């Protein structure tokens, strides 16, 4: 019998445009997984938590299970408010992009919970190494919204003077490190900072995130290896939102698992429902406690769904069913926390509408103030000199030459 030639494995997405999307493989319930002691448990002890899913908010909108962080109502409302803030802010920024007031934008739609819950679970001295999908961490750390919009426009009040793409924020006071355009670099850099904190004996933990797509890059594996070898106090989150622009998450694993990839590196590994505020808060606090106690890093798969387009330049109807996000079993993170607060008698539809109206006014007023410093369509723009300044301590000769050429050209 002729032997069949082995064929190259080319992964595909489970659903393409025209297919009926379904996520039947969602077997996890909140009470499924035991609590683990963050200081005493070994990496191997987390194997079931890497294969399962840590969830606190159930279909009945109640909190249950061993991982319930039992937060105060005030903290829940603060989390809800920040998530609503991100969503309304994103919508306003998209309108600005569509009307030519800024060049490019990326929303956190469907993933608002990730940065908000996880940053709220940290201490203020902890370092944040985000991707473009975690701008919400800045709201938790108190960044002024006007300054964020000025950055997105790249106007004269942009704190990084137009040297970055929109949404690639830098926020020094909040220990929020500049977002990097080449995806993945922040993951290994975060481990380096965590190593430095440990070396200096400081009570600081570093948190970082990487996307499912970017986890196919070397940076991800270097980070896991260094975090493990040096026992670095770092929280390594892999946000599996199913998509990397038009490329499905299957391309990063060949259809395999994400969370358990931390185990062979000797890292505690957990998978968490990324649309569940309480579960996300809980695992992050757990990982912080473990890191701060010197036990080491935690690798967390944050399971969620990118409900919106990748960016303002993307049209997802070209590569996935347009209603796929409505089928996601994790639902919408804002609705889930809102419904939980209503369920426990601490919130109402009226209060929610009031909150949305108040945030809408806050965003509108910040927007008006930001555009008074210039927008992309009308200017004024930062001086072109800023292309060359504040990057190199000693400006290399070829940049000096280009700077002079620019000046001469402008003088003509
Ligand atoms: C090194 C590198 N390769 C490619 C790109 C172009 N790019 C920007 S975002 C992106 C997809 C990333 O997907 P994922 O890591 O899943 O993150 P998500 O956008 O889903 O949050 C790609 C390919 C880039 N910016 N940097
Ligand atoms: Mg992704």
Predicted confidence (pLDDT) at residue 387 exceeds the cutoff of 90: no
Residues whose CB is under 5 A from ligand 2 (ion)? 211-213, 241, 244
Nearest by Cα to 102 from 379, 364, 308? 379
Ligand 1 atom closest to Cα of residue 239: 21
Residue nearest to atom 12 of ligand 1 (CA): 244
pLDDT average, residue stretch 218-234: 98
User: Tell me, which fold does domain 30-310+325-381 have in CATH?
Assistant: Rossmann fold (3.40.50)
pLDDT average, residue stretch 220-247: 98
Ligand 1 neighbours (beta carbon < 6 A): 131, 133, 181-183, 211-214, 239, 241, 243-245, 306, 310
- With the most atoms of ligand 1 within 8 angstroms of its CB, the residue from 245, 252, 303 to mutate is 245
- The secondary structure of residue 61, as a DSSP letter, is S
Q: What is the pLDDT of residue 1?
A: 65
Indicate the pTM of the whole model: 0.96
Strand (E) or helix (H) holding 285: helix 277-292
Predicted confidence (pLDDT) at residue 194 exceeds the cutoff of 90: yes
> Do 411 and 404 contact (CB within 8 A), yes or no?
no
Instruction: Name the band, by pLDDT with cuts 50, 70 and 90, for residue 256.
Output: confident
Measured in Å, residue 103 CA sits from the centre of ligand 2 at 22
| Residue 230 backbone dihedrals phi, psi, to 5 degrees | -100, 5
Q: Could you report the per-residue pLDDT of 75-131, keeping only the tens digit for each?
A: 999 999 999 999 999 999 999 999 999 999 999 999 999 999 999 999 999 999 999
User: Taking the alpha carbons of 272, 273, 277, 279 in that order, is the dihedral positive or negative?
Assistant: negative
Residue nearest to atom 1 of ligand 1 (CA): 182
> Long-range contacts: 395-398, Cβ < 8 Å, 24+?
none
Residue nearest to atom 26 of ligand 1 (CA): 182
Nearest by Cα to 339 from 89, 27, 63? 63
What is the rounded distance in angstroms from the CA atom of residue 73 to the CA atom of residue 346?
7
Angle between helices 277-292 and 73-98 (to 10 degrees): 110
Torsion of CA 86, 92, 95, 96, to 10 degrees: -110
Q: Which residue stretches of 99-184 are H helix?
A: 112-120, 136-140, 145-153
Angle between helices 112-120 and 333-343 (to 10 degrees): 60
pLDDT average, residue stretch 51-70: 96
- The secondary structure of residue 295, as a DSSP letter, is S
What is the rounded distance in angstroms from the CA atom of residue 302 to the CA atom of residue 299?
10
Predicted confidence (pLDDT) at residue 411 exceeds the cutoff of 70: no
CATH 3.40.50.970 in the chain is located at 30-310+325-381
Kindly provide the residue ranges of all beta strands, DSSP E only, lying in 41-141, ordered along the sequence.
Answer: 127-129
Kindly provide the residue ranges of all beta strands, DSSP E only, lying in 205-249, ordered along the sequence.
Answer: 206-211, 234-240, 243-244, 247-248
- Cα angle at 53 between 37 and 305, to 5 degrees? 130
pLDDT average, residue stretch 350-369: 98
Residues 6+ apart with CB under 8 A from 331: 275
Q: Could you report the per-residue pLDDT of 290-322, keeping only the tens digit for each?
A: 999 999 999 999 999 999 999 999 999 999 999
Measured in Å, residue 197 CA sits from the centre of ligand 2 at 29
Measured in Å, residue 184 CA sits from the centre of ligand 1 at 8
Measured in Å, residue 133 CA sits from the centre of ligand 2 at 10
> Do 297 and 188 contact (CB within 8 A), yes or no?
no
What is the rounded distance in angstroms from the CA atom of residue 360 to the CA atom of residue 140?
18
Predicted confidence (pLDDT) at residue 192 exceeds the cutoff of 90: yes
Predicted confidence (pLDDT) at residue 35 exceeds the cutoff of 80: yes
Kindly provide the residue ranges of all beta strands, DSSP E only, lying in 26-149, ordered along the sequence.
Answer: 127-129
Nearest by Cα to 302 from 287, 314, 313, 289? 287
- Cα angle at 162 between 157 and 167, to 5 degrees? 90
């Amino acid at each position: 019998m002729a032997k069949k030639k082995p064929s190259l494995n080319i992964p595909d997405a489970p659903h393409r445009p025209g297919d009926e999307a379904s996520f039947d493989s969602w077997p996890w319930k909140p009470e499924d997984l035991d609590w683990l002691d963050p200081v005493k448990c070994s990496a191997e002890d987390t194997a079931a938590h890497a294969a399962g899913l840590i969830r606190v908010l159930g279909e009945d909108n109640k909190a249950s299970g061993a991982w319930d962080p039992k937060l105060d109502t005030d903290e829940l409302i603060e989390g809800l408010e920040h998530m609503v803030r991100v969503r309304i802010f994103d919508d306003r920024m998209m309108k600005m992009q569509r009307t030519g007031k800024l060049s490019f934008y990326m929303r956190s739609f469907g993933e608002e919970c990730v940065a908000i819950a996880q940053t709220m679970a940290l201490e203020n001295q902890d370092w944040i190494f985000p991707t473009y999908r975690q701008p919400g961490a800045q709201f938790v750390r108190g960044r002024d919204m006007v300054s964020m919009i000025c950055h997105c426009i790249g106007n004269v009040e942009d704190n990084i003077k137009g040297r970055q793409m929109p949404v690639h924020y830098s926020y020094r006071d909040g220990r929020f490190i500049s977002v990097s355009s080449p995806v993945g670099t922040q993951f290994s850099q975060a481990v380096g900072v965590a190593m430095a904190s440990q070396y200096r004996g400081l009570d600081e933990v570093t948190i970082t995130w990487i996307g499912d797509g970017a986890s196919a890059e070397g940076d991800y594996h270097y980070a896991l290896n260094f975090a493990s070898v040096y026992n670095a106090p770092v929280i390594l989150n892999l946000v599996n939102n199913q998509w990397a622009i038009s490329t499905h998450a299957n391309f990063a694993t060949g259809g395999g698992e994400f969370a358990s990839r931390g185990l062979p590196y000797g890292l505690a590994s957990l998978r968490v429902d990324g649309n569940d505020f309480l579960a996300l808060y809980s695992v992050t606090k757990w990982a912080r406690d473990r890191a701060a106690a010197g036990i080491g890093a935690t690798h967390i798969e944050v399971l969620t769904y990118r409900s919106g387009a990748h960016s303002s330049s993307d049209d997802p109807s070209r590569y996935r069913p347009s209603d796929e996000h409505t089928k996601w079993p994790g639902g919408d993170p804002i609705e889930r926390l809102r419904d939980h607060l209503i369920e426990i008698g601490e919130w109402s539809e009226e209060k929610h509408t009031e909150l949305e109206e108040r945030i809408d006014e806050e965003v509108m007023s910040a927007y008006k103030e930001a555009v008074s410093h210039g927008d992309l369509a009308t200017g004024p723009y930062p001086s072109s000199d800023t292309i060359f300044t504040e990057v190199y301590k000693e400006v290399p000769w070829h940049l000096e030459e280009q700077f002079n050429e620019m000046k001469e050209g402008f003088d003509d």
